[in-house]
Structure 1
Amino acid sequence: MSEQMTDIRSKLVLVRHGQSIWNEQNRFTGWVDVDLTDRGVAEATKAGAMLAAEDIRFDVAFTSFQKRAIKTLWMTLEGIDQMHIPVTKAWQLNERHYGALSGLNKQETRDKHGDEQVHIWRRSFDVPPPQIDATHDYHPANDPKYAGYDPAILPGGESLKMTTERVLPYFNVQIRPFLDGGNNLIISAHGNSLRALMKDLFEVADADIPGFEFPTGNPLLMELGQGQKVLSARYLDADRAKDLPESGKS
């Protein structure tokens, strides 16, 4: 029995949604629920085709409450003819909330506040953007999707650290048990919620994790061993791959 347990392996695919309308417009998006562009649809479709070539049978899928991630998952599952598998949507997997920066053009924000300040807001681990209150249109308390949740737990602006502090508890309680059981999973989410998962799986330091990028619509395929040790990891589209951490859990 102990030998069988040590041999448990699972496949985990992380995919960032395809290009969104505000990605294309170079705007801070966060929790604003924008749709995919035509390019984003094509990226999601290609993600399904690339995964089909890997011939993986998935047991369960997870995604956020945001349509760009949900649609990317739909098209990916359609591409591998696995739309029947259970899908769980969780707001905890949403993108980082960009607070008062939401909707602003990134270059115009640099022109106004300076490159250094915008870099701190975007790429520091623990510095949040300016907050918005619960009366703001972009606060999730005013979005019907979150009507059943206490506004006190919904963010008005988050650092990557704050995002990690909501993503990882959800991952540990709701997702990790599937991996412990040797199941194959796919998660369609967002650049920063996926960074939070990468930080945990690869044991990346706080100061280093903001530097890792997830390309849109390019699945990251990982094989995990006992205790979610990363045995291998690669982006399926090598031409659009980004750097990965060098070491996983030991």
Structure 2
Amino acid sequence: MAAAVSHHALVSAQSHQGNAKNSRLQKSTGNARLVSVGSWCSGSRNSGLVCASGFQSSVVEPTQLPSNGNSGHTPKKSSESALILIRHGESLWNEKNLFTGCVDVPLTRKGVEEAIEAGKRICNIPINVIYTSSLIRAQMTAMLAMMQHRHKKIPIVIHNESEQAHRWSQIYSEETKRQSIPVITAWQLNERMYGELQGLNKQETADRFGKEQVHEWRRSYEIPPPNGESLEMCAERAVAYFKDQIVPQLMAGKHVMVAAHGNSLRSIIMHLDKLTSQEVISLELSTGIPMLYIFKEGKFIRRGSPVGPSEASVYAYTRTLAKYRQKLDNMVQ
């Protein structure tokens, strides 16, 4: 594969083995809930950055996850699941050419329009659960995109900041559960932490430190910016979360949308498409452009980017997508 890999150059279908780690179940008030316990440090191992620890949990209802490997049950394998990856729309700091990283910056008007357009492109693809980063630009993108979906389900953010938050946000109506889609936020899907570069103008930073040095910080795989994360470090957390939390959903037959960031998504695509560290640094992802993968028989097959709701060929890639679109057509007749 050529060293320069672009978003559009990878459209051809590829198959790769998806490695799913089984998750642990914790009983809480009579309901099974998926939890993982760990700690997070957003900088390099020796940077001295503050670390935060806690648990992240994924709701089981209405999206059932497979039980863990110790139970003796084999996770249900669906014949086919859809995985949609979307980089957030343009943010206010994208517009100002600033290093954004983990700073929580909302979308611009253009970013809102990009998110809406992304939603139109995927409006005929089934979605059962949404994952976003903990940053508002990714969450805005997910919400705006889902408003365009023809099924008209309501995204419901799952709050797991504490046991009380989890209990208080429960939905008790089965009918409401059927009409909603859970949205699970995770810091592991956040953008790469740019350390001391965050908030600085990219051109001014190049003038100050030198163009080659800034390019090395931005585009090398292993070298982090001062007190920040390298792409390798970002990949460690993003891919681990993808394997632990998202792959089990796909194995259970759920259709998943992930709204995240350039570097966290590059990391996941690196894993899905088996890119080398040299190939991934040349991978460019446009804001607001969805990418579709099909998860089938434990493998990920790239289907490229849907070009619009009127493009029938996009949904004819598989029998399942074609049937789902026909179901949506029947609903409005």
Q: TM-score, normalised by structure 2?
A: 0.60
Alignment check: 8 A CA contact 2:192 2:264 kept: yes
- Answer yes or no: is the 8 Å Cα contact 1:9–1:182 preserved in 2: yes
Question: Which residue does 1:152 correspond to in 2?
Answer: none
2:87 matched residue in structure 1: 16
> Aligned letter for 2:221?
F
Q: Is the counterpart of residue 192 in structure 1 residue 268 in structure 2?
A: no
In 2: Cα distance, 1:225 partner to 1:204 partner: 20
Q: Is residue 2:134 matched to residue 1:38?
A: no
Aligned letter for 2:231?
L
Say if 1:218 and 1:237, in contact at 8 Å, map to a contact too: no
- Counterpart AA for 1:162: M
1:19 match: secondary structure? coil
* Residues 198-217 of structure 1: per-residue CA shift (max 9 Å, x gap): 01111111121111111101
Q: Residue 321 of structure 2 aligns with which residue?
A: none
Name the aligned partner's letter for residue 69 of structure 1. A
Aligned to 1:15, the other structure's residue is in SS state strand
SS at match of 1:211: coil
Please give the alpha-carbon distance, in whole angstroms, between the structure 1 residues aligned to 2:201 and 2:115: 25
Q: 1: distance between equivalents of 2:307 and 2:237? A: 29
Asked whether the 8 Å contact 2:82–2:126 carries over to 1, the reply is: no
Q: What are the ranges of 5 or more consecutive residues in structure 2 without an aligned counterpart?
A: 1-75, 155-179, 309-333
Partner of 2:282 in structure 1? 211
Map of 1:137 onto structure 2: none
Aligned to 1:68: 137
Matches of 2:126 and 2:247 in 1, distance apart?
A: 18
Using the TM superposition, give the Cα deviation of residue 21 of structure 1 relative to its aligned residue in structure 2, in angstroms: 0.5
> Percent identity of the aligned residues?
46
Q: Paired residue for 1:175?
A: 246
Aligned to 2:304: 234
Amino acid at match of 1:61: I
Aligned to 1:146: none
Equivalent residues in 2 for 1:49-198 (5 A)?
49-52=120-123, 55-80=124-149, 81-83=152-154, 84-131=180-227, 157-198=228-269
d(CA) in 1 for partners of 2:215 and 2:104? 24
Please tell me the residue identity of whatever aligns with 1:79.
Q
Letter in 2 for 1:105: N
Q: CA deviation at 1:230?
A: 2.7
Aligned-pair CA distance for 1:168: 1.3
Give the number of equivalent residue pairs: 207
Larger Cα-atom Rg: 2
Instruction: Tell me which amino acid in the other structure corresponds to 1:18.
Output: G
Q: Is the Cα contact below 8 Å between 2:134 and 2:185 reproduced in 1?
A: yes
Q: Could you tell me how far apart the structure 1 residues matched to 2:204 and 2:306 are? A: 34
- Matched to 2:202, the amino acid is K
Query: Secondary structure of the residue that 1:188 maps to in structure 2?
Result: strand
Question: Distance in 1 between the 2:285 and 2:300 partners?
Answer: 17
| Other structure's SS at 2:257 match | strand
8 Å contact 2:89–2:114 — kept in the other structure? yes
Offset of residue 237 of structure 1: 4.1
- Normalized per residue, the structure richer in helix is 1
Instruction: Write the distance in 2 (CA, Å) between the matches of 1:184 and 1:57.
Output: 6
Native 8 Å contact 2:130 2:182 kept in 1? yes
Report the equivalent of 2:99. Answer: 28
Deviates more, 1:218-227 or 1:72-81: 218-227
Q: 1:203 and 1:47 mapped to 2: Cα distance?
A: 25
In the aligned structure 1, how far is the partner of 2:89 from the partner of 2:307? 13
Structure 1 stretches (4+) deviating beyond 3 angstroms?
none
CA contact (8 A) 1:15 1:217 kept: yes
